[in-house]
């Protein structure tokens, strides 16, 4: 199980229009396969806050250590955010 701090968020490109007495912001659009689509400027991905790993051999110190190392390396999270236990 993986827990995350948020969901994926899309940030769209905006264009500013300055008028004499007001400012307008519109989304930038481009032609896509389905017609006009808003231009995505950036995608903020969720931040992983923790992992629980249930595995065969999880009661073995060697297996637990291997799983800790694999999860922390693959996801870039510290080991105190990972819990490994045996499958029963």
Report pLDDT digits (tens) over 41-61: 999 999 999 999 999 999 999
How far apart are alpha carbons 9 and 41 in whole angstroms?
Answer: 11
Please state whether the predicted TM-score (pTM) of the whole model is above 0.75: no
Which of these, 46, 36, 35, 34, lies nearest to 10 by C-alpha position?
46
How far apart are alpha carbons 68 and 3 in whole angstroms?
Answer: 16
Task: Decide: 51 and 84 in contact? Cβ < 8 Å.
Answer: no
The stretches in the chain having pLDDT less than 50 are none
For the chain, where are the alpha helices, taking DSSP H only? Answer: 61-75
**pLDDT score, position 17:** 80
Give the domain ranges of the chain. 8-44, 48-86
How far apart are alpha carbons 35 and 30 in whole angstroms?
Answer: 8
């Amino acid at each position: 199980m993986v827990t995350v701090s948020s969901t994926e968020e899309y940030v769209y490109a905006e264009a500013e229009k300055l008028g004499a007495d007001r400012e307008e912001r519109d989304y930038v659009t481009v032609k896509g396969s389905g017609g006009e689509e808003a231009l995505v400027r950036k995608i903020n991905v969720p931040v992983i806050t923790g992992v629980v790993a249930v595995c065969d051999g999880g009661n073995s110190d060697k297996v637990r250590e291997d799983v800790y190392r694999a999860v922390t390396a693959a996801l870039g999270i510290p080991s105190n955010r990972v819990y490994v236990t045996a499958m029963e």
